Amino acid sequence: MAEKQQQTQQSGAVRPVPAVISVVVKGESVLLVKRSKPPDAGRWGFPGGKIEPGETVHEAAVRELCEETGLSAAAERVLTALDVLDRDAGAVLKHHFVLIAVLCRDPEGSLVAASDALDARWFRLDEIENPALATSASVIDLAREAVAG
């Protein structure tokens, strides 16, 4: 408990930042982007980003999807919320994101990696489950849940 309190005191002004990830399903595949920025640069994850003031969770998910991939989709429902805690080598908290995962369906448009994405493509579950694929935390679990319905 004392260690956690010390880490919290050291992190000072770090506040949780609300953000969304768009979990887009097309048939038996899900859309992933290769992140270009920390905390998960170089890893495959769902498109997403910060929620803008006055924007609903569903609006943010649709906007971020379009910005990163050029696709539009229908935001259906919230799947879950995840905490992403980014710490430095001394365990001091650098960033705290609260990611709200939104299930999206019926994608339209031409897929292109844009904005914060180095690459974007559709993956089947067996491809995501391959240990050689570097993914962000919870990608496999969210992909399974999304494809299952």
Q: Model confidence over 46-99: pLDDT tens digits?
A: 999 999 999 999 999 999 999 999 999 999 999 999 999 989 999 999 999 999
CA distance 48 to 63: 9
Q: Model confidence over 29-52: pLDDT tens digits?
A: 999 999 998 778 899 999 999 999
Phi/psi at 51 (nearest 5 deg)? -85, 130
- The yes-or-no verdict on residue 6 having pLDDT over 50 is no
CA–CA distance from 52 to each of 15, 17, 68, 79, 134 (Å)? 16, 11, 16, 20, 29
From the list 133, 129, 131, 138, the residue with the least C-alpha distance to 21 is 138
Residue ranges of domains in the chain: 2-148
pTM over 0.75: yes
CATH homologous superfamily for 2-148?
Nucleoside Triphosphate Pyrophosphohydrolase (3.90.79.10)
CA distance 7 to 127: 37
